[in-house]
Amino acid sequence: MSNPPDSHAEPAARVLRLKRGEERRLAAGHVWVFSNEIDTGSTPLTAFAPGVLAQVRTQRDAFVGYACVNPHALICARILSRDPAQPVNRALLERRLATALALRRRLGAAPHYRWVFGESDQLPGLVLDRYGDVIVGQIATAGMEALREEVAAAVRAVLAPAVLYWKNDSAARELEHLPRVAAAAFGAVPANIEVTEGALSFTAPLAEGQKTGWFYDQSANRARLARYVPAGARVLDVCSYVGAWAVTALRHGAARAHCVDASQAALEFAQLNAARNGTAVEVLHADAFEALKSLAEQGERFDLVILDPPAFIKRKKDIPQGQAAYRKLNQLALGLLADEGLLVSCSCSYHLAPEELVSAIQSAARHSGRFVQILEAGGQSPDHPVHPAIPETRYLKAFFCRVTREVG
């Protein structure tokens, strides 16, 4: 931490002062500032408009960083620059976007990936997914919302895509008192997006799809699946969305696949995606828990079951109920697995630690009279990098488990 040269105010940002000692976590690399860490006596949060830029400073007046402020949110500021000579402007945004793009290009040739993953790419509150010449963005903070036009201009300068579509319909925006809206920044927005994943190709709905339309975070785990698919396997893809897991399994030797999802529209895309990859899936439009119970009552058995549910734990207060839901879902899945079957159990809940998902799987196994061996653990794909100082950026867990009848 240092004091910025006077000559670099552009213009001078207002000061947001921390309480004594509250800079330690920030000095270690985190970028979130909580409202209870602010010295509101000297710098009242009520004096800041949502999205305004400020200089975060310590009690000793040391410069911590330039941050965007939202006085109405628990996370009242997020640091975007720690360089006192580099305020937040178009040049900074373009440099961050270019750096993020260089990583994704290094990871693979196909122009289908998460281009920007918020804090991990030093652009807190911003997500950009690339679908060829179409960029789909989501903004989750008042600070990034205030910079939206600058971000759009920077996207054009760095990549010049045909389309930038802001799909700002996430519930996370409500925490920042932002409206849930979707609109094009530029270009003609297509109804669907096209994705290439390995040798497979998929279509997914854009405006009506989940998140930005696709789940790039699971790409690496779907690639891992190939080695575990038995020839002629019967596959159950639970919370399948548009069928990416099921189609991957079918193209790697499975004979039959069921997709279960609460969205009929998503299941129609699953059938479309299976057909375009030379396969076919059966679909079941139902709640995941009810579907698994129904399949068990029908005497169905599967060699491979994939559980990729939405987050059951979105806040700390959801932990007990969420843990019970993960146990129950895994127990129902184990009841449908044939002997020597494979379970792929995933969770995208940050508040569920990896060892807690393992505990849920093991508890389900004991109650089901099954023996489970974890063969491999996966996380989010490398286009969702983890910031080592921000544990919240590591959220996805995927365990590949062999399941047999309990012995001993």
Cα distances (angstroms) measured from residue 87 to each of 5, 12, 93, 266: 12, 9, 10, 43
Beta bridge partners of 288: none
Query: How far apart (Å, rounded) are the C-alpha atoms in residues 192 and 209?
Result: 9
Is residue 357 within a helix (H) or strand (E), and if so which, with residue range?
Answer: helix 354-368
Do 67 and 26 touch, CB atoms closer than 8 A?
no
Instruction: Choose, from 76, 259, 348, 401, the residue flagged as catalytic.
Output: 348
Do 107 and 88 touch, CB atoms closer than 8 A?
no
CB atoms within 10 A of CB 333: 28
Tokens standing for residue 27: 């000095």
Beta bridge partners of 208: none
How far out from the chain centre does Cα 185 lie?
A: 22
How far out from the chain centre does Cα 402 lie?
A: 27
Start-to-end Cα distance in the chain: 59
Query: How far apart (Å, rounded) are the C-alpha atoms in residues 93 and 303?
Result: 48
Nearest residue to 336 (alpha-carbon basis) of 383, 377, 289, 269: 289
Biggest CA-to-CA distance, the chain? 75
Do 89 and 12 touch, CB atoms closer than 8 A?
no
Query: Is 348 assigned a catalytic role?
Result: yes
User: Under 8 Å CB-to-CB from 134, ≥6 apart: which residues?
Assistant: 161, 162, 163, 165, 187, 189, 190, 193
What is the 3-state secondary structure of 225-291?
A: HHHHCCCCCEEEEECCCCCHHHHHHHHCCCCEEEEEECCHHHHHHHHHHHHHCCCCCEEEECCHHHH
b (16+ CB within 10 A) / e for 187-201: eebbebbebebeebe
Residue positions annotated with a catalytic role? 348
